[in-house]
Structure 1
Amino acid sequence: MSGRYRRGLAVVDASLGVFRDRPRLAILPLSSLVLVGCAYAAIGVAILHYGLVEAVFTNRIVKYGVMFAGLAVSSGVGVFFNAAVVHCAAGHFAGEEVTVGDGLAAAWRARSRIAKWALLSATVGTVLYIAEDNVPGVGTITRSILELTWGLLTFFAVPVIVTDRTDALRSDLRRSGTAFSRTWGESVSATFGIGLALLPATLAGIFLLGVAYLSMTGVAATLTGVIGGLLLVATIVIAQVLGMVVRTALYRYATTGERVGPLEELEPDAILSE
């Protein structure tokens, strides 16, 4: 089992090479962050404009409605731009000269499936929060476990959307779950590996923001805060790109047996073996 985790970390290391070859992929998750931020700001402005601040905290219908809208927006926008990254990664693995525009075009062609996934994810997320608030015995820990289970089941949802041509959500869920069951060790360790690789920059960003807020004033505080914020944004962007590159390669191997991208550097007999 430890071998599976070591191979997962090796996949992360190899994925950095793909990012170096295609640095413009960072534009996609960065655009996702900007659009989600703008959408949340628009929702906040609407809440303030229509005087719904109190209702968000006291009226369950308004509260869950706002929650559903927020989840749907973040999920839809996130999946859209991640789908663009997956398309570009798959093209890179095939030796094609793909651009960010090609990725966006591919994501746009899959917009109806992406919208369905966004609505499904928002529904699941909202239902879990409703259950936590209203169903006896369902607490934060239970909700967190259910959310983790959902996350593992849909781990390969974006590669499924991009590479498979089905319109049935049930079929997509089954394909994602099956691929994860075949690569669970590599998938989990690669995900943790990305987080560990970027942890120093993340901690540095948090530290700079804390110092700027607690110990500085004026221009120094502004500059320090900006640097800290940029570090955090950079880690989020890089993590998204690496995560999608890894998932694209692992999904290809889980479904076709073909070793592409970061998997090419591993020994054929070692991949997915115990």
Structure 2
Amino acid sequence: MFDRFRRGLAVIDASLDVFRERPRLAVLPLLSLAVIGSAYTVGAVAGLHYGLVDAVFTNRLVKYGVIFAGLAISSSVGIFFNAAVVHCATRQFAGEEPTVRDGLAAAWAVRGRIAKWGLLSATVGTLLSVLNDNVPGVGTLTRSILDLTWGLLTFFVVPVIVTDRTDALRSDLRRSGDAFARTWGESVTVTFGIGLALLPVALIGVCLLAVAYLSATGIAAYLMGAIGGLLLVAAIAVTQVLGMIVRAALYRYATTGEPVGPLEALSPDDIFSE
């Protein structure tokens, strides 16, 4: 297990080199956050305008409908912009110089598959909420395990959508699951490693926001709040980009045996040895 952790850290370090060559990719997760935030804001304003807020807490049908809509929006938008990142990363692995516009065009070309996966993810998430609320024995722990299982099965769904031309959700899920089974140690280690590596930046941002809100006043409060917000958003954006770069490279290696991107400068025998 220690060797797998060490190999995962090596992949993270190499993925940073890839990101430095295309820092503009951070624009894509920022756009994702902006679109999702805007959609949620519109939904909240509409709910307040039509007096639906109380119904969310008193009517289960409305509650689960809101949950489904929220998950469908966040899943579809998130997958769309992640697909754009994966496309750009894949093209960069091939020696090309992709632009943000290229990534968005590639994601738009597979919008139908993205919409299907967004709806499927929303359906699964809503069903888990229904089970958690209405089925005895399905508590927080069980819900967490089911969420984790679904997350692992769909770990490589975005690279599958971008690189494999299939229209069947079952085929996409099987390919994602197979790729994860071949690289589970590195995939998990890299995912947690990227989060841990950027966690200090995010925590500093949160602390600055908290201080600005609770104790600072005047210009100092605005300045600390702005810096804290920028650090938090930057940490989220870079984490997302690095995660997609690594997933694209690991998926290529799992399916073809070809080391690309952050894996190219490393020894595959050392990275993926048992």
Q: TM-score, normalising length from structure 1? A: 0.98
Aligned equivalents of 2:257, 2:271: Cα separation in 1: 10
**Contact kept? 1:182, 1:272, Cα under 8 Å:** no
**What residue number does 1:49 align with?**
49
Secondary structure in 2 matching 1:265: coil
**What residue number does 1:237 align with?**
237
**What residue number does 2:59 align with?**
59
In structure 1, runs of 5+ residues without a counterpart are none
Per-residue Cα deviation, 1:140-163 (whole angstroms, up to 9, x for no partner): 111111001100000000000000
Aligned equivalents of 1:107, 1:123: Cα separation in 2: 22
Secondary structure in 1 matching 2:269: coil
**What residue number does 1:109 align with?**
109
1:77 equivalent in alignment to 2:77: yes
The worse-fitting range, judged by mean Cα deviation, of 258-267 and 234-243 is 258-267
**What residue number does 1:211 align with?**
211
Q: How does 1:113-128 map to 2 (within 5 A)?
A: 113-128=113-128
**What residue number does 2:222 align with?**
222
Structure 1 moving runs of 4+ over 2 Å: none
Structure 1 letter corresponding to 2:125: G
Secondary structure in 1 matching 2:221: helix
Aligned equivalents of 1:218, 1:140: Cα separation in 2: 42
**What residue number does 2:33 align with?**
33
**What residue number does 2:272 align with?**
272
Structure 1 letter corresponding to 2:187: S
Count of aligned positions: 274
Secondary structure in 2 matching 1:102: helix
Aligned equivalents of 2:213, 2:102: Cα separation in 1: 41
**What residue number does 1:142 align with?**
142
In structure 2, runs of 5+ residues without a counterpart are none
C-alpha displacement of 1:221: 1.2
Aligned equivalents of 1:219, 1:271: Cα separation in 2: 50
Per-residue Cα deviation, 1:180-205 (whole angstroms, up to 9, x for no partner): 00000100110111011101101100
User: Taking every aligned residue pair, what percent have the same amino acid on both sides?
Assistant: 76
Aligned equivalents of 1:11, 1:153: Cα separation in 2: 21
Secondary structure in 2 matching 1:269: helix
C-alpha displacement of 1:22: 0.3
Q: How does 1:85-100 map to 2 (within 5 A)?
A: 85-100=85-100
Structure 2 letter corresponding to 1:41: T
**What residue number does 2:11 align with?**
11
